[in-house]
Amino acid sequence: MEIFETEVAVIGGGMTGVGVLRDLALRGVNAVLIEQFDLGHGTSTRNHGLLHSGGRYAVKDKEAAVESYQENLILKKTVPGSIEETGGLFVKVPDDPDDYVEKWVNACNTIGIPIEEVPLQIAFAEEPYLNRKAEVVYRIPDGAVDPFTMLVDVTADAVEKGARVLTYHEVTHIETTNAQVSYITVKDRYTGEEKQIHTKLVVNAAGPWSANIAKLANVPMKIINNKGMLTVLNNRINKQVINRLRMPGDADIFVPAHNVTIFGTTGINVEHPDDTSLQREEFEHMIMKGKDLIPTLPQIRMIRAFSGSRPLFQETESSDASGRNVTRGMALLDHEQRDGLKGFITITSGKLTTFRYMAEKTVDLVCEKLGITSNCQTAEVAVPHREAKQALENINLTPVAKKKLFSWAGVNASSIKANLLKDNSIVCECESVTWAEIESALPEKGQFNLGDIRRRTRLGMGPCQGTFCYRRAAAMAVEKGVATSDEAEIALQNGVEKRSKGMRVIATGSANKQLELMDGINYVSLGMKKGGETYV
Amino acid sequence: MLYQPSLEASYDQCLKCHACTVNCPISSVSTEFGGPKQLGPELQRMTQNQGILDDASIELCTLCGTCDRTCPENIHVSSLTAYLKETHAEEVGTKFRDIVLSKAEWVGKLASTFAPVTNATMKLKPARKVMEWIMEIPAERNFPEYRFNNFKRKYKIKESTTERKVAYFAGCYATYNAPDVADSFVKVMEYNGIEVAVPKQNCCGVPMFANGQMKAGKKNAQSNIDSFLSYVDQGYDVVMTCSSCTLAMKKEYPGYMQTEEAQRLAENVYDADEYLRILYEKGELNDSLSALNDKAAYYAPCHMKGQGIGNPAMDMLELIPGYQIEDMAAGCCGQCGTFGFKKEKYSYSMALGDTMVDSKSMAESDYVVTECGMCKNQFDQLTDKEVRHPIQVLRQSYELN
């Protein structure tokens, strides 16, 4: 068994975990991150991708609103490659309470969130899908954040600064000696091989799974997993984020994301953190509600639906209330104070927008515990931008694929360029993904996994959902010696099944035809097995 | 009636099935061309609310409309590519040559006025070399001849006095290059007791759309709509002999113009043989057709196939006693209107043309029958076969009586 030492082990490769990892790396603290699947397997890639500006929480939760607005400004500066400064609108429609508008305007003004009333005709011209019965529209500095690229970029920057990352590793054991965490045991999901990580401190950032991790350390903790459903519209129907000007509720946000719009969400408490089930009734409920903002929503084609759980921390009755609730938005638990276990910290709840702030507060506590004096740098030090226009200006590629790479290639520009010279094939036509990008996104070692490639390149994120491109990518991987044919086949089966799950629940009209085409090609024409072997 | 989706809604229905790309003639001979799926629905989706994007490979689209015909979701793909042509023209400008080629009516008027000189010059090798050098029009490319005594000069009837009234849209080719086709149409109608009126008309706009001159094309479309709709309102049927002009009025005008007038006109437009077939079905056709012991090969132009009305020319010619006609069942000819006159497209044009003429039914035929003057030009380039318009054959059969 491989045994190694680190100062801090971070459990959970979601946005919070990778944020903590990068903060530690920037402060020069030796750290390793353990993620049970791929980065962002949980909540961090299962959300709207909304860069809040605080408007949503202005009335209900002032502290969260302040944090959101501050972080909005910081992230635009420090993770610019993953943020599109779309701006946002808050829209009041006829049934929304009139008095909320005044409360909201006052709250935004008090907090200092810049808002501006937009004449209705201008709002309708900007957003033709918007309900023409809208009564009041305000502009707000919302943005769209790509959680996939942000996760990858923040992690890559941490690794570049010396951190270590183990994905597809599950924590199986947490050893405590004299009320102090001494090591953790992790297991490689692909090979079954175990590793022992000796550490001074464990940061539990496992989101919906953080109660399970706490349990491994015999710490009682309750997390309410509040599952929300979202859908991906076939097109980018709006230029800017569209929010509803009322108390936050279901199905009231539309976020433009690259070539699509993400619409959601709902909230249902579920038992299990792995529960990402999708219900048709929930989807229909969402569409009914969403019609208030976008009346033609039922006629708009969807690509798929997905769900993820918000991990909401709730202090258990049994423990004393010494857990340090930094704000209502996030929960930072010092288990030494709370449960008498040294070397164990949990950071949970919070929002995608405030991940950096959560990481800062967590690492402040880590440093305090380890006796390190070092200031947080993540509010100033930016991760490398994804802009790559200059580097790729002269490549031979279709204009649309080129345009994507200009704002996508970033630090990989030179490797992508070199790959493009060898092969400039487009693999995914819906999202214009080249083989060159796939090649540069492949891990140096490890399993060929179409889901991992998808999260790093957008392969299979378009309307066909991998019907054509997953197969092409798998075939090319075999042809180029990147994967064996058995690996490619398993990757294909897994990939297709995951894609079709999200399609099935929304399948009416064109989306249903698309699914039928996918099933027909895979299971009828090409005789692919259903429910094949899974590798993790 | 053809399905008329609105431009805004249609591309959303794309299932990525690739039928359009697989059937696209240009995609079959070029890897440089993005193809109808990529440059149509996909580019629309990837640029919506994200600004416009130019793709120079759209120059290779011929607007043959094969994509529209093969789409199982009835997406008007070619109207997306036509608008992309406009975007491209606006971004990088239009070559002088393409402006000239797009003005088929203007060229027709001019060339026909100086017809003997024009035709002789077009056959002079040194002149063609200069033209290739300055205009990038290949010296070896065949050009249709122009007629001084064009149809416009000789036929001036603007009103029909018969019971059935036909307003004839001749199009540039039958007006300036092949007035015999227009004459034959008038004669065949006469044999059926119909007097043909020729309303004021301009080039249908197809060469303009194909060269990214959307605004100019729409201007022509509007003037034709205004002119012919006033005839429709007086009970005329609009009948045409050029398959491209016919498809433009039936499909492109409603698609591009998105007006009720364009739609109403489209509902009253007929291909000449389609119209005769209706007369036949109603028992109104003059059936005194004399026997012709010819063996013909029929070539269906892309814009004929795009009308979705079967093979009315073959249906009509088969009524002639003794007449044998076989469908060549060939793909695109490669001339594609102005496309085949362009030097940088010439190799694609030839690759498609060679495939077309490699046909058993053509080899065994006395002559080829097709509606399209541009397809005829490609036959003239590649074979020694005579090419006739179906209406010329029908006229011959009537006149033998």
Pair (A110, A132) in one structural domain: yes
Q: From CA B356, how far away is CA B351, in angstroms rounded? A: 9
Provide CATH code, domain B286-399. 3.40.50
Lookup: tokens for A185? 């045991």
In this complex, which of B38, B50, B53 lies closest to A429 when CB atoms are compared?
B38
- DSSP string covering A46-113: SS--EE--SGGGTTT-HHHHHHHHHHHHHHHHHSGGGEE---EEEEE-TTS-HHHHHHHHHHHHHHT-
| Overall size of chain A counted in residues | 536
In this complex, which of B12, B18, B53 lies closest to A399 when CB atoms are compared?
B53
Q: What angle do CA A32, A37, A43 make, to 5 degrees?
A: 95
Question: What average pLDDT does chain A have?
Answer: 94
- DSSP string covering A470-515: HHHHHHHHHHTTSS-HHHHHHHHHHHHHHHHHHHHTT-SHHHHHHH
Residues of chain B in contact with residue A237, where contact means CB-CB under 8 angstroms, are 48-49
What value does the mean pLDDT take over residues A151-175? Answer: 97
What value does the mean pLDDT take over residues A410-434? Answer: 95
CATH number at residue A207: 3.50.50.60
CATH number at residue A84: 3.30.9.10
Pair (A291, A434) in one structural domain: no
Q: From CA A327, how far away is CA A440, in angstroms rounded? A: 40
Q: From CA B57, how far away is CA B79, in angstroms rounded? A: 16
Residues of chain A in contact with residue B37, where contact means CB-CB under 8 angstroms, are 429
Q: Judge: B34–A398 Cβ closer than 8 Å, yes or no.
A: yes
- Give the ranges where A378-434 is alpha helix by DSSP (H): 389-392, 399-406, 413-422
Q: From CA A50, how far away is CA B171, in angstroms rounded? A: 56
In this complex, which of B12, B17, B54 lies closest to A399 when CB atoms are compared?
B54
Domain boundary among A370, A398, A415: A370
Domain boundary among A262, A291, A311: A311
Fold annotation for B7-92: Fumarate Reductase Iron-sulfur Protein; Chain B, domain 2 (1.10.1060)
Residues in Cβ contact with B75 at an 8 Å cutoff, skipping those fewer than 6 apart: B5, B10, B11, B13, B14, B40, B41, B68
In this complex, which of A238, A400, A464 lies closest to B16 when CB atoms are compared?
A464
List the single residue in B with minimal CA-CA distance to A425: B31
Q: What is the pLDDT of residue B400?
A: 87
Pair (A305, A344) in one structural domain: no
Residues of chain A in contact with residue B14, where contact means CB-CB under 8 angstroms, are 463
Q: Does B55 touch chain A (CB under 8 A)?
A: yes
Q: From CA B365, how far away is CA B377, in angstroms rounded? A: 18
Is the pLDDT at B2 greater than 60? The verdict is no
Q: From CA A405, how far away is CA A157, in angstroms rounded? A: 20
Classify A455 in phi/psi space as left (phi over 0), alpha (psi -120 to 50) or beta: alpha
Residues of chain A in contact with residue B48, where contact means CB-CB under 8 angstroms, are 235-237, 259
Sheet bearing B165-169, strands edge to edge: B195-197, B165-169, B237-240, B269-271
Lowest pLDDT segment from B105-119, B301-315, B339-353: B105-119
Pair (A322, A442) in one structural domain: no
Q: Are A410 and A106 in contact (CB under 8 A)?
A: no
Torsion, Cα of B115, B120, B122, B126 (10° steps) = -150
Domain membership of residue A411 as a residue range: 389-525
List the single residue in A with minimal CA-CA distance to B52: A400
Pair (A131, A157) in one structural domain: no
Q: Judge: A234–B55 Cβ closer than 8 Å, yes or no.
A: no
DSSP state of B81: H
Pair (A251, A184) in one structural domain: no
Identity of the amino acid at B109: K
Pair (A416, A297) in one structural domain: no
What value does the mean pLDDT take over residues B229-255? Answer: 97
Q: What is the pLDDT of residue A324?
A: 36
Q: Does B14 touch chain A (CB under 8 A)?
A: yes
Pair (A127, A234) in one structural domain: yes
Is the pLDDT at B4 greater than 50? The verdict is no
In a domain, A48, yes or no: no
Q: What band does A533 get if pLDDT is binned at 50, 70 and 90?
A: low
- DSSP string covering A111-176: HT---EE--HHHHHHH-TTS-TT--EEEEE--EEE-HHHHHHHHHHHHHHTT-EEE-SEEEEEEEE
In a domain, A378, yes or no: no
Is the pLDDT at B5 greater than 50? The verdict is no
Pair (A519, A406) in one structural domain: yes
Q: From CA A79, how far away is CA A73, in angstroms rounded? A: 10
In a domain, A530, yes or no: no
Q: What is the pLDDT of residue A3?
A: 96
Q: What angle do CA A389, A393, A398 make, to 5 degrees?
A: 105
Q: Judge: B13–A510 Cβ closer than 8 Å, yes or no.
A: yes
List Cα–Cα distances, A243 to A130, A247, A248, A252, in angstroms.
Answer: 11, 11, 9, 6
What percent of chain A lies above the pLDDT cut of 90? 93
Residues of chain A in contact with residue B49, where contact means CB-CB under 8 angstroms, are 236-239, 256
Pair (A346, A214) in one structural domain: yes
Farthest-apart Cα atoms in chain A, separation: 68
What value does the mean pLDDT take over residues B20-49? Answer: 95
List the single residue in B with minimal CA-CA distance to A126: B49
Burial class (CB in 10 A: 0-12, 13-18, 19+), A87: middle
| Unique residue bearing structure tokens 């001084």 | B148
| Unique residue bearing structure tokens 């992309």 | B84
| Residue spans in chain B of domains classed CATH 3.40.50 | 286-399
Q: What is the pLDDT of residue A334?
A: 97
In a domain, A425, yes or no: yes
Pair (A299, A425) in one structural domain: no
Pair (A296, A398) in one structural domain: no
Lookup: tokens for A349? 């709840």
| Residue spans in chain B of domains classed CATH 1.10.1060.10 | 7-92
Q: Are A298 and A285 in contact (CB under 8 A)?
A: no
List the single residue in B with minimal CA-CA distance to A397: B32
Q: What band does B7 get if pLDDT is binned at 50, 70 and 90?
A: very low
| Unique residue bearing structure tokens 């996508």 | A408
Beta strands in B226-280 (DSSP E): 237-240, 269-271
ipTM: 0.91
What value does the mean pLDDT take over residues B248-260? Answer: 95
Q: Judge: B46–A259 Cβ closer than 8 Å, yes or no.
A: yes
In this complex, which of B17, B18, B55 lies closest to A400 when CB atoms are compared?
B55
H or E segment to which residue B218 belongs: helix B214-232
User: pLDDT tens-digit profile of B163-218?
Assistant: 999 999 999 999 999 999 999 999 999 999 999 999 999 999 999 999 999 999 99
In this complex, which of A236, A400, A517 lies closest to B15 when CB atoms are compared?
A517
Residues of chain A in contact with residue B46, where contact means CB-CB under 8 angstroms, are 259, 400, 431-432
Distance from CA of A514 to the nearest CA of B (A): 6
User: pLDDT tens-digit profile of A388-410?
Assistant: 999 999 999 999 999 999 999 99
Number of domains in chain A: 3
Q: What band does A316 get if pLDDT is binned at 50, 70 and 90?
A: low
What percent of chain A lies above the pLDDT cut of 70? 96
Q: Judge: B55–A399 Cβ closer than 8 Å, yes or no.
A: yes
- Coil/strand/helix, residue B99: helix
Q: What is the pLDDT of residue A321?
A: 39
Question: What average pLDDT does chain B have?
Answer: 94
In a domain, A532, yes or no: no
